[in-house]
């Protein structure tokens, strides 16, 4: 910087006083530069003064030769002076041009950096909307369909010979959806994707699971308890292996979503920093020029500064706005969405445990224990439903749906307790009909399944709402930076040209 | 939690029942019965000097209904029976009818008919293997009829009726298997057995170079055997017969590894009920046993030498 500034000062300025020379004596700035050791401003002011506008602040009464560099003898002969000027006179111009280049380069670098950083952020924001949020949703959906398949398989099993078409279709639909989603996820994922392993494993385990459920049903239909053992085995594969992998896939995808959110929300500090440096350089150059020429304005440099200020202002404001909108999208949409997804998953696990408890026919109490554990995770004091309720407190639509879901769970818990009480007193048939209903009976039965379906629907309403929130706010966040990348680059390039132009005008005064 | 309570109860009972041995061995062996993964010792350490033959001795039968425990059942009007619903041929739910069926179920109906006058005055409660003893101790059920083996060990915790079936551990393999029994042919094989069962105790004492695969329920072994995850199963022959009945491509090999008897279990000290049940069993063995065997077990187990012989004392 100080080097760049130093070149402003011609080492030899004797011949410059074409018109105003009468007033001021060619002084010597001695190439002292703008360093701290530099003599007072007034000393060289006259020297640099352009012919048409004598520096008003030129120190009066200064004697010729004063301040000249040591060892330099005064030149008085005009011819020699001119010759000498021609010889060395390029040096100040070169220095000016060097300064101009540095200013222009800094400005352009600022523009390029701003461009790159803005594009990175808007890519991350685009990724949130078009890539990581949908992938996270898909992973949640994979988990949901798998868990639902398991629950539905148990329902079909409990209906045994009376398995309804609805239940069979739902199970088949779940298996189909899960394999479609897995195929899609496999196609979307690059080999380096962290979720790749889970996707492959799930894809290979799903047909095996479906086979086991098929065997369970076949054994059950001929009256073998082995069918129940198969279903419990299939379900254990699902719960302990496949759902664990699906959960991991969901976590991986959600982790990426969080990464994208934080990438898109971070301010482009490097670009802002470089912009400030460019601005400081421009300001400093103008101060030096002012000190050298006593002219307040260099139009080019002023324009350059204004342009950089504009670009910086736009960059900072737009990115801050985008960060705020994306933050809102994360906090008001994505975060509740994840809690609601988890709630839906827990509800499915509860429902599965309830069914399997009946399938197990009292041979184990692990499913009743699972119900107790998972239902606490769902609706206990720190559970997903109360968390979702507090997260959506500012959003009446979501709040309403979550409150409905909480009420649905209360109903479900009550019916569950009734069904379990029946089971505990040996009334297995009542427990089964309290849970999955009686085939052929009206659909409005007060079963635990009906309560679950209601809860699921309430959660779906809340999820759809939050999903829309995510999209809307993320879209707004992306909209905040529309044109910013190209715009800030263009402004910075303009600033570069303006700086060069300003310096050029200054340099032209040497000719 | 359940195990802790059970263990505490077992400890208490053991100490009360065995004042003489408690000083020498304050930790009764009965603990291991309910602790998952720790099988009972194959040599039961029940009352000092108790032999399997001693364990089979039950209280003299009586048709007297005036005892407080029989009266409790009569007043309730229902017999609460702890059963298994996953043991094919013994206690299972027929998916077609939704009805419970099997040898043990019929025995429960016989008890209800004799005590209450109606074979259907029964509340069936499905009890997991590990909870059989605690369900009796807590009074949740009056009787446990669930292929439960009489042992000196268990007699410290519950009261047994006279035996109603002779059984024993046996090896179960697919037809194509090279395993010929509980012997050196098990080397390198994966052998399935239910956690906490006598079979596991056998394997832990001598595995013949096999790998033990423990599962929660003996029926889970059949799933694993069909899926090729295990090569053989050890369970008692009566339950093994239930497995064979569900999969004709497997069979029992090598003969019985030991001699066991099944009995009806009741709460320790409910002696009037034990006598009353023994009276029903006497009748059951004499009049009903053969036809029950033919209905449920003949196909899977072959001809029988008849019901066990019984000895009464006290």
pLDDT (tens digit per residue) in A123-141 = 888 888 888 888 888 898 9
pLDDT at A24 over 70: no
Residues A37-53: what's their mean pLDDT? 40
Query: Are the Cβ atoms of A361 and B127 closer than 8 angstroms?
Result: no
Gap from A159 CA to chain B (nearest CA, Å): 9
Interface test mutation site (partner A, options B80, B84, B95, max chain A beta carbons within 10 A): B95
Residuewise pLDDT in 10s, chain B (314 residues)? 444 444 444 333 333 333 333 333 333 333 233 333 333 444 444 566 788 788 889 999 999 999 999 999 999 999 999 998 888 999 988 766 778 899 999 999 999 999 999 999 999 988 877 788 999 999 999 999 999 989 888 899 999 999 999 999 999 999 999 999 999 999 999 999 988 788 888 899 999 999 999 988 888 999 999 999 999 999 989 899 999 999 999 999 998 999 999 999 999 999 999 999 999 999 999 999 999 999 999 988 888 889 999 999 98
Gap from A220 CA to chain B (nearest CA, Å): 7
pLDDT at A431 over 70: yes
First to last CA, chain A: 26
Return phi, psi of residue B157, to 5°: -115, -30
Query: Are the Cβ atoms of B223 and A161 closer than 8 angstroms?
Result: no
So what's the pLDDT on residue A444?
A: 61
Q: Which pLDDT band, with edges at 50, 70 and 90, does A42 fall under?
A: very low
Gap from B68 CA to chain A (nearest CA, Å): 22
So what's the pLDDT on residue B5?
A: 42
Gap from B139 CA to chain A (nearest CA, Å): 13
Within 8 A of B93 by CB-CB distance, chain A residues are 225, 361, 428
So what's the pLDDT on residue B135?
A: 92
| d(C-alpha A209, C-alpha A153), whole Å | 11
Q: Which pLDDT band, with edges at 50, 70 and 90, does A440 fall under?
A: low
Task: Give CB contacts under 8 A, 24+ apart, made by B205-213.
Answer: B205/B42, B208/B182, B208/B183, B208/B184, B209/B184, B210/B186
Quote the ipTM score.
Answer: 0.75
Residues A357-370: what's their mean pLDDT? 83
Q: Which pLDDT band, with edges at 50, 70 and 90, does A39 fall under?
A: very low
Query: Are the Cβ atoms of A223 and B87 closer than 8 angstroms?
Result: no
| d(C-alpha B110, C-alpha B286), whole Å | 13
How much is the mean pLDDT over chain A?
A: 80
Gap from A362 CA to chain B (nearest CA, Å): 5
So what's the pLDDT on residue B61?
A: 95
- Chain B touched by A365 (CB under 8 Å): yes
Q: What is the CA radius of gyration of chain A?
A: 39
Gap from B169 CA to chain A (nearest CA, Å): 20
So what's the pLDDT on residue A258?
A: 87
Interface test mutation site (partner A, options B86, B122, B142, B143, max chain A beta carbons within 10 A): B86
Q: Please tell me which of the candidates B80, B124, B223 has its beta carbon nearest to residue A229.
A: B223
Within 8 A of B132 by CB-CB distance, chain A residues are none
pLDDT at A18 over 80: no
Q: Please name the residues in contact with A350: beta carbons below 8 A apart, sequence gap of 6 or more.
A: A371, A374, A375, A378, A412, A452
So what's the pLDDT on residue B95?
A: 66
Query: Are the Cβ atoms of A364 and B217 closer than 8 angstroms?
Result: yes
Q: Which pLDDT band, with edges at 50, 70 and 90, does A30 fall under?
A: very low
pLDDT at A13 over 70: no
Interface test mutation site (partner B, options A215, A362, A370, max chain B beta carbons within 10 A): A362
The model's pTM is: 0.72
- Chain B touched by A424 (CB under 8 Å): yes
Query: Are the Cβ atoms of A229 and B220 closer than 8 angstroms?
Result: yes
Within 8 A of A425 by CB-CB distance, chain B residues are 123, 125
Helix residue ranges, H only, A266-360: 269-293, 299-328, 335-359
In the A/B pair of chains, how many CB contacts fall below 8 A? Answer: 83
pLDDT digits (tens, 9 = 90+) for A298-319: 888 999 999 999 999 999 999 9
pLDDT at A163 over 80: no
Q: Which pLDDT band, with edges at 50, 70 and 90, does A511 fall under?
A: low
- Token pair belonging to A421: 């009480």
| d(C-alpha A256, C-alpha A124), whole Å | 10
Residues A208-234: what's their mean pLDDT? 90
Contact A241, A66 (CB under 8 A): no
So what's the pLDDT on residue B34?
A: 31
Which of A358, A227, A370, A364 lies closest to B195 in space, CA to CA? A364
pLDDT at A237 over 80: yes
pLDDT at A265 over 70: yes
So what's the pLDDT on residue A272?
A: 93
Q: What is the 8-class DSSP label of residue A394?
A: T
pLDDT at A159 over 90: no
First to last CA, chain B: 37
Q: What is the 8-class DSSP label of residue A20?
A: G
Q: Please tell me which of the candidates B126, B131, B222 has its beta carbon nearest to residue A229.
A: B222
pLDDT digits (tens, 9 = 90+) for A286-298: 888 888 887 778 8
Across B200-294, where does the E strand assignment appear? Answer: 211-215, 232-236, 250-253, 260-262, 265-267
Residue in chain A lying closest to B2 (CA): A365
Which of A478, A419, A474, A429 lies closest to A449 in space, CA to CA? A419
């Amino acid at each position: 910087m100080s080097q760049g500034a130093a070149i402003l000062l011609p080492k030899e300025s004797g011949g410059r006083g074409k018109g105003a020379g009468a007033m001021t004596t060619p002084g010597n700035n001695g190439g002292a530069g703008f360093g701290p050791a530099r003599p007072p401003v007034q000393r060289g002011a006259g020297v640099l003064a352009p012919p048409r506008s004598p520096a008003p602040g030129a120190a009066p009464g200064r004697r010729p030769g004063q301040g000249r560099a040591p060892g330099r003898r005064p030149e008085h002969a005009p011819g020699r002076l001119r010759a000498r000027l021609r010889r060395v006179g390029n040096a100040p111009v070169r220095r000016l041009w060097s300064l101009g280049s540095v200013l222009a380069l800094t400005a352009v670098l600022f523009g390029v950096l701003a461009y790159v950083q803005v594009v990175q952020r808007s890519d991350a924001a685009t990724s949130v909307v078009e890539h990581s949020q949908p992938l996270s949703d898909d992973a949640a959906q994979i988990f949901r369909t798998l868990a639902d398949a398991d629950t539905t398989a148990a329902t079909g099993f409990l209906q045994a010979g009376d398995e309804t078409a609805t239940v069979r279709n739902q199970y088949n639909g779940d298996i189909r959806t899960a394999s479609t989603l897995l195929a899609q996820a496999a196609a979307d994922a690059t080999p380096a994707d962290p979720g790749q392993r889970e996707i492959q494993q799930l894809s290979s385990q799903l047909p095996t699971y479906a086979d086991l459920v098929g065997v369970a049903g076949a054994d059950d239909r001929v009256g073998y308890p082995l069918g129940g053992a198969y279903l419990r085995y299939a379900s254990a594969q699902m719960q302990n292996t496949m759902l664990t992998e699906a959960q991991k896939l969901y976590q991986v995808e959600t982790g990426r979503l969080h990464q994208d959110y934080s990438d898109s929300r971070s301010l482009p500090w490097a670009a802002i920093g470089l912009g400030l440096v460019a601005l400081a350089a421009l300001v400093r150059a103008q101060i030096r020029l002012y000190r050298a020429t006593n002219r307040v304005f260099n139009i080019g440099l002023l324009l350059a500064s204004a342009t950089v200020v504009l670009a910086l202002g736009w960059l900072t404001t737009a990115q801050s706005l985008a960060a705020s909108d994306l933050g809102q999208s994360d906090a008001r949409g994505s975060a509740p969405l994840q809690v609601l997804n988890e709630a839906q998953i827990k509800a499915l696990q509860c429902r599965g445990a309830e069914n399997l408890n009946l399938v197990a026919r009292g041979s184990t109490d692990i499913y009743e224990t699972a119900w107790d554990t998972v239902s606490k995770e769902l609706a206990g004091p720190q559970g997903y439903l109360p968390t979702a309720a507090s997260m959506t407190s500012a959003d009446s639509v979501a709040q309403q749906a979550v409150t409905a879901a909480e009420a649905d769970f209360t109903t479900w818990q009550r019916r569950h307790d009734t069904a379990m009480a029946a089971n505990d007193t040996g009334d297995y048939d009542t427990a089964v009909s309290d849970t999955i209903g009686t085939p052929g009976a009206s659909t409005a039965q007060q079963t635990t399944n009906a309560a679950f379906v209601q809860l699921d629907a309430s959660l779906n309403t809340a999820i759809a709402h939050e999903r829309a929130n995510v999209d809307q706010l993320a879209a707004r966040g992306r909209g905040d930076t529309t044109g910013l990348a190209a715009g800030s680059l263009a402004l910075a390039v303009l600033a570069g040209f303006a700086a060069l132009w300003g310096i050029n005008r200054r340099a032209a005064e040497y000719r | 939690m359940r195990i802790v309570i059970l263990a505490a109860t077992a400890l208490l009972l053991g100490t009360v029942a065995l004042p003489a041995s408690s000083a020498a061995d304050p930790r009764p062996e009965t603990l291991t019965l309910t602790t998952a993964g720790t099988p009972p010792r194959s040599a039961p350490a029940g009352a000092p000097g108790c032999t399997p033959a001693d364990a089979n001795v039950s209280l003299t039968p009586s048709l007297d209904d005036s005892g407080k425990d029989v009266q409790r059942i009569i007043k309730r009007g229902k017999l609460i029976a702890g059963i298994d619903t996953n043991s094919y041929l013994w206690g299972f739910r027929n998916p077609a009818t939704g009805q419970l069926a099997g040898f043990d179920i019929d025995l429960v109906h016989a008890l209800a008919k004799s005590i209450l006058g109606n074979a259907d005055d029964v509340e069936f409660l499905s009890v997991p293997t590990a909870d059989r003893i605690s369900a009796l101790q807590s009074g949740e059920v009056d009787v446990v009829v669930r292929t439960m083996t009489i042992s000196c060990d268990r007699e410290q915790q519950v009261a047994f009726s006279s035996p109603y079936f002779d059984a024993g551990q046996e090896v179960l393999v697919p037809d194509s298997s090279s395993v010929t029994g509980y012997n050196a042919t098990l080397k390198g094989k994966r052998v399935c057995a239910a956690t906490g069962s006598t079979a596991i105790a056998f394997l832990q004492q001598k595995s013949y170079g096999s790998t033990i695969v423990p599962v929660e329920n003996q029926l889970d072994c059949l799933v694993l055997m069909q899926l090729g995850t295990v090569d053989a199963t050890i369970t008692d022959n009566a339950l093994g017969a239930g497995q064979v009945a569900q999969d004709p491509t497997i069979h029992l090999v090598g003969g019985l590894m030991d001699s066991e008897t099944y009995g009806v279990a009741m709460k320790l000290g409910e002696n009037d009920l034990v006598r009353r049940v023994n009276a029903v069993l006497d009748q059951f063995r004499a009049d009903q046993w053969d036809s029950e065997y033919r209905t449920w077990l003949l196909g899977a187990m072959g001809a029988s030498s008849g019901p066990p012989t019984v000895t009464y004392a006290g």
